[in-house]
Structure 1
Amino acid sequence: MQTDQHIEEPSPTPGGDKGAAQGGEGQSPHRVPARLPANSQAAVAQRMNDVPERPVPGVSYAVSQQPIRPAGWRTRRHIKRKNLRQTIKTINRSDRVGTQALLPLAISLFSVFVVVVLIFVTITGFINATHQKFGDKITTLTDILPHDSTRIYDSKGKLIFQAMDQGRQTSVPLDKISPHMAHAEIAIEDQYFYKNPGYDITGITRAAIENLTTKKVVSGGSTITQQLIKNAIVGNQATVLRKLQEIILAPDVSRYYTKEQILEMYMNTTYYGERSYGVEEAAFSYFGLNGTPTQTAASQLDIAQSAMLAGIPSSPIARDPLLHPKAALNRMQEVLQQMYLQGYITAKERSTAIAEAQEPTFFKPGIKQNGQATHFANYTLRELANTLHVKVADLSRAGLVVKTSLDLDLQNKVLQVAKKHIAEMARAHNMSNAAVVVLDHHTGAIRTLVGNIDPENPRYGAFDVASQGYRQPGSSFKPFIYATAFDQGISPGETVMDGPLTVNMCCGLPSYTPANYDLKFHGWVSWRYALQNSFNIPAVKLLMRTTVDKALHTAQSMGVKTYQGTPNYTMVLGSLSIHLLDNTAAYSTFANGGIRMAPHAIETVQDQTGKMIFQFKPKGVRVLRKETAFMITDVLSDNNSRIYEFGKCSSLVLYSTTMNQCYAGKPGPIRVSAAKTGTSNDFRDNWTMGFTTDFTVGVWAGNNNNTPMVNVTGVDGAGPIWHDTMLLAERGHPLNVFPGPPPTLIMKTETYPGKTTTDWHFK
């Protein structure tokens, strides 16, 4: 509250209010403004406007002053800051120098790190890629190794053929390989074979140093395991990558296979020169050692021979002892030295082996003979390819062991018989070649197949007339027409007029007038007599009666699979060209009672481990009634009926003495047989077909160029070969007779035009 008069209020002092009140008792009173209680809200609001005045600059208050900083602090601060600036300069200068010096080092270290990482990643990737690419091949190594050469044996286990176009290989178990050979290979190729994991770092390093020193590849440093991998899995390219792949895969192979298995695989597939793969073939190629059923060639190798062979694989051409004997001997001495140092042989054995190798008779090169039964072997390969559904070219290294039906001894004897007879007929009758087939008609097994008497002839020796040549069968085709007629119920005793005949041909062809071989007519004759004496006119009449289609069907169902020419009425005289093997197979159907057994060469097929792949099981098919087969057999074995044409001691009669002795009444034991001859137009082809109770034999004789022979028939040309072949095949077999007639046939006498006959009839 303001008044007109200014009243100065004394400064408060302790107890001031009380003194003022007391001292004012004798003075004039003055008014003091009222005060609000200190704790009232109004007093608080009044005090809110009490803002202290700002102090006047430069004015010192009368209060005690303490120095904030000690004396000399500015100097010390200046010195400190100066030293700090100097330190910072030094550090900066050091940083600049350090950066310039350490940055390249850091970059280098980083680059090395990056390179190491890249190398690690690359190596890891390469290892993974190698395992991914070749991993499966390790577990199937025994399957992907080069297979053995396909071998073909005769029925008695004699080797007649071994494929050689892709080299020769015959695998044998390790326990049937000479220990000397195993020691020699280990000593020279991989002395730590039984200890290393499949690779030898020491050997690789040593080889690298040698190669760098000589500036050429003089050593590979590969272990036996690596060499096996090279030969079977990764290939033989001379690259670093291939070598790395070997090293990567070697431990896997060593873990999966035993050392003995690895060594066996290696020694059976390594190339030893002279087209020989594996120890077994090498033992034959260089030393003429032959395996037997109880002993392999590889098991017969001595120390000298083993050391010589062990030195070859590192350079099969340069160290081939037959081509470079000096280089081979030097290498052999290295092998012997290693064998001695590693304790496999003594010093005396080493000296003895060296002396043995220097003998002039040390090497005895073996020569594989594939010339035995050449045409049969080729036929077998074609049959094998057809059976396994592959190409013949794929069989060379298929590792197959084929046992066949061939009797090699009989084959060779028959070949000599054919050569002898052809030599006798060549000059006077212009006959130069023959083919022979011997079948076991009970099973269809081919016991002999002579496709050509001169297989080595460069012009025509390779051609197999028996299974590949088409030749006209002449009258040997007639029994198929007669069989068709007999199957229709015609009796061999019925008669036919053998007289002039003209047949009108279809399709604009000129008429056909057949003639008999002797150019005569024989009047009324029985079918038996006509067939046995091979009369042509009755045969044509019979074909007209049975029809061409039915007669051709009979021939085909019996075994004549293919032919060349046009089937018509002339085919009864042999105008169709057929294979000798097919004709023989068809005749074997007669011999087997009307049951056709397809001819075959293969009995069993095994792989090189002995696993059976194929085994022939005979399966016959009846294509003729047994009555028909019996009647044909009965007619063709009737020697008395054919005396008119052939004589009583022709080559169709299987007497055991000579022809002269037979005509002199001393034929000896006569083996029962059924036979038929055939001669084509212009004497181009001679045939003799026939069978006994055991075998069916077919013989063709003629010329390779199909030129005519001179005045020779089947009984004179092919007949003697057939006669001698049959006796050879039957040697040791008992003299059996053909089975008797079926119960559905009866022998009875009937009167026919011109003749009364007694013969077989259906009941």
Structure 2
Amino acid sequence: MQTDQHVGANPPEEDPGLQGADGAQPRRRIPASLPPHSQAAIAQRMNDVPPRSTPGVFYTGSHQSIHPSGWRTRRHIKRKNLRQTLHTISLSERIGTGTLLPMAASVFSTFLIMVLIFVTVVSFINATHERFGDKITTFEDILPKDSTRIYDAHGKQIFQMMDQGKQTSEPLSKISPHLAHAEIAIEDQNFYKNPGYDITGILRAAIADMTSNKVVSGGSTITQQLIKNSIVGNQATMLRKLQEVILAPDISRYYTKEQILQMYLNTTYYGERSYGAEEAAHTYFGLMDTPTQTAAQQLDIAQSAMLAGIPSSPIARDPFLHPKAASTRMQEVLQQMYNQGYITAQERADAVTESLKPDFIKHGTPLNNRAAPHFVNYTLRELASDLHVKISDLSRAGLVVTTTLDLNLQNKVLKVAQKHIAEMARQHNMSNAAVVVLDQHTGAIRTLLGNIDPNNPKYGDFDVASQGYRQPGSSFKPYIYATAFDEGISPGETVEDGPLTIQMCCGLPSYSPHNYDQRYHGWVSYRYALQNSFNIPAVKLLLRTGVDKALNIAQGMGLSTYEGVPNYTMVLGSLAIHLIDNTSGYATFANGGIRVPPHAINTIKDQNGKLILQIKSHPARVLRKETAFMITDVLSDNDSRIYEFGKCSSLVLYETTMNQCYAGHPGPIRPSAAKTGTSNDFRDNWTMGYTTDVTVGVWAGNNDNSPMIDVTGVDGAGPIWHDTMLLAEQGQPIQPFPGPPDTLIKKTQTYPGKTTTDWHLIK
């Protein structure tokens, strides 16, 4: 039984006398005690004095360590290691949070950017194809076309539009192979292998540009240059370069390399306003087409190398402006041709030697674009009207226009006009003339001479024939007479040539016409009055027909535009008109009352010879054939005009001189119908007339519209008309005018003051 023990008390002593006899350890005596929680024990301890507490901390348990030796050290080390591990884990977590997330974000952003770039590139490619795709299939059609060229009726070139440069295309077979080799060697050495673009070339150019700190090479292939010049434009931007690369394979799929090379050699710019090999060969070397070879076909190695060096910098390497730079570039081209096996070392050396000759570079003979300037301008206006475009749109339209002009005839007419004006200039103050020659059957303009001094810097470009408004004088009278004849009035009917006063309306003063000779001639026939150009009978006739009806007749015959106010004075030529319109009106008389509008163009073809338009005549009857016959009969009646003009005036087509004619030796006389006209104050002088073949109109006067001195129709414009008509009829048989229609009858009839025999309509 365990006894109560005070915490920290000494153990009870052992009694030695209690040891066993055998010397064994005696059993310990333990006094009896009450259970500590019993009521007796509690009561027994009530009077106990508690022992004094020993200073210090007392523990109820044993003070012996319950852990093995070194445990605390190991625990410290373990806890230290644990703290380091936790710190490492925490640090790793912090690093992971601060690094891996941004890294993941960067990777995601990069991926997103790549996706955006991919989408952008695909969209750009699609947009490029959508924008330019249709142009690929029509690439040949949208390439810059040749300069429009105009030829006369015999195939002689008279004009080439050059305001936007000059270009004449030739098939590849008619272009020197040396030029093709030179261009490939210097511009696109992998031309026959690449798909239209050359990545190595682009990188090579980029390196060269960065090395030089400037753009020294574009890296564009021949195909890309074609695309640049014809589709995407030549802006120096990365966007444009990308468009070239995108479209180049499409071009290569649609066209063969030979077709691409041909298009390039015909359209590339060689400077000096010259596009293509043909024009460049003429511009820099003076080469001309021969019956067997084109100019481009004649280019040798040296010439080809010189030309191939120009396109990359047309101004800086212009042989005329910068011969040293051009020569340096030419040698670079020759070196590349040698490196790529196109030429031998000897051919390279010979080419360099040739280029050093003084006449290696020489200007070609310039085209004479002033051969027929007024006719050309008229043709361009007509061409623009026929094609419904502006004249400026025609420059590089690739058109080949064949015209009605007989340049040889016009040159002869020009000399005739210049000679006559020179004779009249001093005494009569006459300085200029204009001439139109029409084929009345077809409307073809065989000659259109706007003035006699086309190169005059002050007025040479002004075309009096088709642009100038001039008063026709008495040459307008046949339109009024035609109106009267159309209504049944006979040329034999008489009219009194006497004083006449017309009361004008609207507050205008009265009008009293007078004859040119300031005399009255009594009763005369209309035939006689017209042939002698009497004014008063013509005004009286207009009073009978009416202004409006006569004006309508004139307009229907070709006088579509005019300046002035139509009234009774217009029979004397007060309305200003164009010479070509007046000539067209007389051509209607010559053609039996059928009007064929004048035209300067026969055919329009493209540069490949395909017919675009062939001009067809559109004849229309605007006058009764009986009327046309009577006008012709009157105007060809030389006997009726002897009073005013004499027997051998310039209106009679004799082949000898006037003196010989009056001497009775006129030679063969070609039937003709003619009328003169002189405006007020002798400012304008006209002679109009026709044969069975052609109609000729001539105006003479001054460019500033100043008066001439004492000039009549037969003295001023008449001689020019006479000589022009003989030139136009040269080689043609002499033919009389056609006889009268069945609806006309010639009979004698008595009128007031006179009995005449003349033509009458059968009613």
TM over 0.5: yes
Structure 1 pair 107–760 and aligned structure 2 pair: CA distance change class (3 A):
closer
The alpha-carbon deviation at position 115 of structure 1 amounts to: 4.2
Aligned match of 1:57: none
Amino acid in structure 2 at the alignment position of 1:689:
M
Amino acid in structure 1 at the alignment position of 2:299:
L
The alpha-carbon deviation at position 477 of structure 1 amounts to: 0.6
Structure 2 SS opposite 1:606: strand
CA distance in 1, matches of 2:556, 2:107: 89
Alignment pair present for 1:476 and 2:440:
no
Aligned match of 1:399: 398
Amino acid in structure 2 at the alignment position of 1:315:
S
Aligned match of 1:268: 266
CA distance in 1, matches of 2:332, 2:736: 71
After superposition, give the CA deviation of every residue in 1:423-462 in whole Å (9 maximum; x if it has no partner).
Answer: 1111111111111111000011111111121222222222
Aligned match of 1:652: 651
What is the total number of aligned residue pairs between the two structures? 687
Alignment pair present for 1:179 and 2:161:
no
The alpha-carbon deviation at position 89 of structure 1 amounts to: 5.4
After superposition, give the CA deviation of every residue in 1:181-214 in whole Å (9 maximum; x if it has no partner).
Answer: 2111111111110111111122111111111111
The alpha-carbon deviation at position 755 of structure 1 amounts to: 2.5
2:339 corresponds to which of 326, 338, 341: 341
After superposition, give the CA deviation of every residue in 1:479-529 in whole Å (9 maximum; x if it has no partner).
Answer: 111111111112212222222222222222222222221222222222111
Greater Cα shift, 500-509 or 331-340: 500-509
1:98-113 to structure 2, matched below 5 A, reads 99=96, 109-113=107-111
The alpha-carbon deviation at position 633 of structure 1 amounts to: 0.6
The alpha-carbon deviation at position 747 of structure 1 amounts to: 2.1
Aligned match of 2:576: 577
Aligned match of 1:66: none
Aligned match of 2:464: 465
CA distance in 2, matches of 1:196, 1:668: 78
The alpha-carbon deviation at position 673 of structure 1 amounts to: 0.8
Structure 2 SS opposite 1:577: coil
Q: TM-score, normalised by structure 1?
A: 0.86
Aligned match of 1:565: 564
CA distance in 2, matches of 1:168, 1:563: 38
The alpha-carbon deviation at position 355 of structure 1 amounts to: 2.5
Alignment pair present for 1:92 and 2:89:
yes
1:431-442 to structure 2, matched below 5 A, reads 431-442=430-441
CA distance in 2, matches of 1:679, 1:593: 26
Aligned match of 1:252: 250
The alpha-carbon deviation at position 738 of structure 1 amounts to: 0.9
CA distance in 2, matches of 1:291, 1:655: 44
Aligned match of 2:141: 143
The alpha-carbon deviation at position 759 of structure 1 amounts to: 1.8
The alpha-carbon deviation at position 219 of structure 1 amounts to: 1.0
CA distance in 2, matches of 1:648, 1:361: 63
Aligned match of 1:746: 745
CA distance in 1, matches of 2:614, 2:227: 35
Greater Cα shift, 716-725 or 452-461: 452-461
CA distance in 2, matches of 1:572, 1:462: 31
Amino acid in structure 2 at the alignment position of 1:531:
L
1:222-261 to structure 2, matched below 5 A, reads 222-261=220-259
The alpha-carbon deviation at position 94 of structure 1 amounts to: 8.8
Aligned match of 1:168: 166
CA distance in 1, matches of 2:296, 2:617: 38
Alignment pair present for 1:724 and 2:723:
yes
Structure 1 pair 294–715 and aligned structure 2 pair: CA distance change class (3 A):
farther
1:238-317 to structure 2, matched below 5 A, reads 238-291=236-289, 295-317=293-315
Structure 2 SS opposite 1:467: coil
CA distance in 1, matches of 2:593, 2:452: 32
The alpha-carbon deviation at position 131 of structure 1 amounts to: 2.4
Aligned match of 2:590: 591
CA distance in 2, matches of 1:659, 1:610: 50
Aligned match of 2:759: 760
Structure 1 pair 714–116 and aligned structure 2 pair: CA distance change class (3 A):
same
CA distance in 2, matches of 1:549, 1:232: 56
Aligned match of 1:701: 700
2:128 corresponds to which of 130, 135, 140: 130
CA distance in 1, matches of 2:412, 2:563: 32
CA distance in 2, matches of 1:348, 1:648: 81
The alpha-carbon deviation at position 398 of structure 1 amounts to: 2.3
Amino acid in structure 1 at the alignment position of 2:202:
I
Q: TM-score, normalised by structure 2?
A: 0.86
Structure 2 SS opposite 1:449: strand
Structure 2 SS opposite 1:604: strand
CA distance in 2, matches of 1:438, 1:630: 21
Structure 1 SS opposite 2:721: helix
Greater Cα shift, 587-596 or 161-170: 161-170
Structure 1 SS opposite 2:523: strand
Give % identity: 77
Amino acid in structure 1 at the alignment position of 2:422:
A
Structure 1 pair 226–752 and aligned structure 2 pair: CA distance change class (3 A):
same
After superposition, give the CA deviation of every residue in 1:33-71 in whole Å (9 maximum; x if it has no partner).
Answer: xxxxxxxxxxxxxxxxxxxxxxxxxxxxxxxxxxxxxxx
Structure 1 SS opposite 2:581: helix
Structure 1 pair 295–655 and aligned structure 2 pair: CA distance change class (3 A):
farther
Aligned match of 2:19: none
After superposition, give the CA deviation of every residue in 1:513-569 in whole Å (9 maximum; x if it has no partner).
Answer: 222212222222221111111111211221122222221111111111111112222
Aligned match of 2:206: 208
1:531-550 to structure 2, matched below 5 A, reads 531-550=530-549
The alpha-carbon deviation at position 291 of structure 1 amounts to: 3.9
Gaps of 5+ in 1: 1-74
After superposition, give the CA deviation of every residue in 1:297-338 in whole Å (9 maximum; x if it has no partner).
Answer: 322322222221111100000001111111111111211222
The alpha-carbon deviation at position 86 of structure 1 amounts to: 9.8
Alignment pair present for 1:524 and 2:550:
no
CA distance in 1, matches of 2:595, 2:334: 64
Amino acid in structure 2 at the alignment position of 1:507:
C
Structure 1 pair 512–107 and aligned structure 2 pair: CA distance change class (3 A):
closer
CA distance in 2, matches of 1:101, 1:514: 113
User: CA RMSD of the aligned region, Å?
Assistant: 2.4
After superposition, give the CA deviation of every residue in 1:59-118 in whole Å (9 maximum; x if it has no partner).
Answer: xxxxxxxxxxxxxxxx9xx99xx8997997598379459737766665655554444444
CA distance in 1, matches of 2:528, 2:128: 81
Aligned match of 2:323: 325
CA distance in 2, matches of 1:261, 1:388: 29
Amino acid in structure 2 at the alignment position of 1:347:
A
Alignment pair present for 1:423 and 2:426:
no
Greater Cα shift, 683-692 or 728-737: 728-737
The alpha-carbon deviation at position 150 of structure 1 amounts to: 2.0
CA distance in 2, matches of 1:399, 1:746: 56
The alpha-carbon deviation at position 575 of structure 1 amounts to: 1.0
Structure 1 pair 110–354 and aligned structure 2 pair: CA distance change class (3 A):
same
Structure 1 pair 624–108 and aligned structure 2 pair: CA distance change class (3 A):
closer
CA distance in 2, matches of 1:566, 1:87: 118
Structure 1 pair 294–753 and aligned structure 2 pair: CA distance change class (3 A):
farther
Amino acid in structure 2 at the alignment position of 1:758:
T
CA distance in 2, matches of 1:269, 1:623: 49
Structure 1 pair 355–657 and aligned structure 2 pair: CA distance change class (3 A):
farther
Structure 2 SS opposite 1:466: coil
CA distance in 2, matches of 1:439, 1:606: 24
CA distance in 2, matches of 1:743, 1:525: 27
Aligned match of 2:54: none
The alpha-carbon deviation at position 147 of structure 1 amounts to: 2.4
